Amino acid sequence: MNKRADTVLVETVIFIALNLIFFVLMIVFVWHSGNSASVYEEFYAKKIALAIDSSNSQTSITFDIQKAREFSKAEDIIKIDSGNNLVTVNLGGKGYSFSYFSDYPVGVIINENMAVARVGEKK
């Protein structure tokens, strides 16, 4: 009788543990998918490109890149190619590029958790 009770208890515990492991794995997967480098690469590239498009010449735009820094500490995570009007963000994923239509030369300086884009005079 005790043996049977023990067996049922062990089976129930294993059943609950496996279910818990499954749900924890699912939650980790969903959380990881939403916080992957590729999601933030797209987010920052589009945000920076739209900010450049909206700005006038001789403007400095400061971006908080604290979240990007969690993925990469490299100095060249944000590149702005003024020749091809392209913002490229690489946080260790595949990288993401987005173009802007403004014809001002733009440079970017990365300082700790801040990125400063400087929009110059007309080309």
Partner 1 sequence: MKTKKLGKKADSKMLSLWWIFVLAFAGGIIVIGVLIFYSYEADVRNAEASILSEKIISCLADEGRLNLEFLSDDFDIYSSCALNKKAIDSGFFIKIELRDEEGNVLKTISEGKQSFDADCNISGNENIRQADYFPRCSEETINVLQGVLYVKAGSNQQGVKGI
Piece in contact with partner 1 (CB under 8 A), picked from 61-69, 70-78, 91-99, 107-115: 91-99
Q: Applying CB under 8 A, does 22 fall inside the site for partner 1?
A: yes
Transcribe 40-60 into DSSP letters.
HHHHHHHHHHHHHHH--SSEE
Q: Applying CB under 8 A, does 50 fall inside the site for partner 1?
A: yes
Q: Which residues pair with 86 in a beta bridge?
A: 81, 99
| Least distance in angstroms from the C-beta of 19 to partner 1 | 7
Contacts of 51 (CB under 8 A, 6+ apart): 61, 63, 117
| Least distance in angstroms from the C-beta of 26 to partner 1 | 5
- Backbone angles phi and psi of 42, in degrees to 5: -65, -45
Of 30 and 109, nearer to partner 1 (C-beta) is 30
Of 83 and 112, nearer to partner 1 (C-beta) is 83
Q: What angle do CA 94, 100, 106 make, to 5 degrees?
A: 95
User: CA–CA separation, 63 vs 1, rounded Å?
Assistant: 68
User: What is the binding site for partner 1 (CB under 8 A)?
Assistant: 11, 15, 19, 22, 25-26, 29-30, 33-34, 36, 38-39, 42-43, 45-46, 50, 53-54, 57, 84-85, 88, 90, 94-104, 122
